[in-house]
Amino acid sequence: MIIPITELAPDTLRNIAESFVLREGTDYGEVEASFDEKVDQVLHSLKNGEAVLVYSELHDSVNIRPKDEYQAGEEESF
């Protein structure tokens, strides 16, 4: 289930983005970005619709997924 980011308090959304960056260790290009820069990039992706916030009932957890990779029914796989 996609969670609309407008339904969350800004601090809550930032905490989710911070948790995602810490757990994912994603690649941010040739130049190493600071933690805050990585979090800001994730928040930007969420706000511009490139990524979505997904809730899994099975795992009772929230994850951030690229919008083009998310399909209904896949949310249980993370």
Q: What is the pLDDT of residues 20-60, one digit of tens each?
A: 999 876 555 666 788 999 999 999 999 999 999 999 999 99
Show the domains of the chain with their CATH numbers.
Answer: 2-77 (1.10.10.610)
pLDDT at 42: 95
pLDDT of 78 over the 50 cut: no
With both helix axes pointing from N to C terminus, report the angle between 35-47 and 10-24 in degrees, rounded to the nearest 10: 120
Cβ-contact 16, 23 below 8 angstroms = no
